[in-house]
Amino acid sequence: MDFNFDEIINRKGTASIKWDAAPSEDVLPMWVVDMDFKTAPPIIEALQKRVSHGIFGYTQTPLEFYNAIIGWWEKQHHVILEKENIIATTGVIPALSASINALAKKGNKVIIQPPVYNHFYITLRNSGVGIVENNLIYNDGDYTFDFDDLERKASDTSVKLLIISNPHNPVGRVWKREELQKLGDICQEHGIVVISDEIHSDLVYEGFKHISFASLGHAYSAQSVTLSSPSKTFNLAGVQVGYLFTGNKELRNKIQKQLASQEMELLSPFAIEALIAAYHSGQQWLDALKLYLYDNYLYLKTFVEKHMPQLNVTPLQATYLVWLDCSSVSKPVSALASELLQDHKLWVNPGTMYGDEGQNFLRINIACPRPILEEGLGKLLRAFD
């Protein structure tokens, strides 16, 4: 089946945060993490069928929902799950919030690894716990863990959790098995539970392989919680569906209790239908999507190397987020991003959103039809002329 990812769909007037929150009509948004493509046809068909029923009452989460997750993770990532391992949620951020509030209390600390997804900071601050930064090491376009620093910071007995972005947003890194094992060993030594955000796990490109933290072995699975969703993979952020899983019954019960206390247990019927259709019938669309996204990355990389050699494109192993190194530019990226928005009508994210370690970077969303990417790169080029 052919999928037309070149089709330009007008999203304005749909209350799209990406498009309708722009400060002016002529702004091109390449910031927030959703795609400008229609989702997979089987998902659209499943939702249309559910809408045609005409009744949208309270909905229990059926066994088929859990079986779809189990089948997907076994096929995609060689992770064997059972229904009782899984908790359905309205998204990864609600799952993250519930996990933090269930497993840490005020006065405790949580390790994160900047530059990292800005909602880690937001959710931790909202939870009232301390934030400990174990910065990634950046060297010649590559990011690695700083294990020496992690060992020092993990020895603080008030540290109870470590949140890992796996694959990493915003730097696009796919962590290797030995890296995750070493991180996990340090956390086990100090009694720290790992929360692994794996929402981008299906968007890994050829030559790289996603290693789920839960797949490292029983000891790692028992001291971790994995968060995921089809939302990034299938462009379903507005449907609000996600889940978490853990092999540790005690952790699972605490998180389930926290979700109940927040009255966040019921999914919408559309969330349920979308996930089942995505995981049962979305593979062919996803395979085509990844080829298109990687071609977009190569197009951007070639364009930047040819026309803006003062910038460096960080190698993209996963996600559809390009991490652009602007360290040779003489102005702060916050000012650069503001100039791009105000003067050139291009909306991208300044790296400082993801911690101080992102101070020399811009994040650009390339999940769009090629003509939109070309327009965005033209705006970027004019800013550097």
| Contact indicator for 184, 178 with CB cutoff of 8 Å | no
- Whether the model pTM is above 0.85: yes
| Contact indicator for 373, 346 with CB cutoff of 8 Å | no
Count of beta carbons in the 10 Å neighbourhood of residue 344 = 18
**pLDDT of res. 263:** 77
What stretches in the chain show pLDDT beneath 50?
none
**pLDDT of res. 169:** 99
**pLDDT of res. 265:** 76
Q: Tens digits of per-residue pLDDT, 308-344?
A: 999 999 999 999 999 999 999 989 999 999 999 999 9
| Contact indicator for 153, 111 with CB cutoff of 8 Å | yes
Find the Cα–Cα–Cα–Cα dihedral 149, 152, 154, 156, rounded to 10°.
Answer: -140
Question: How many angstroms separate the CA atoms of 248 and 108, rounded?
Answer: 21
**pLDDT of res. 264:** 74
Question: How many angstroms separate the CA atoms of 373 and 296, rounded?
Answer: 8
Find the Cα–Cα–Cα–Cα dihedral 290, 292, 297, 301, rounded to 10°.
Answer: 140
DSSP 268: P
**pLDDT of res. 385:** 83
List of domains in the chain: 17-41+283-384 (3.90.1150.10), 57-280 (3.40.640.10)
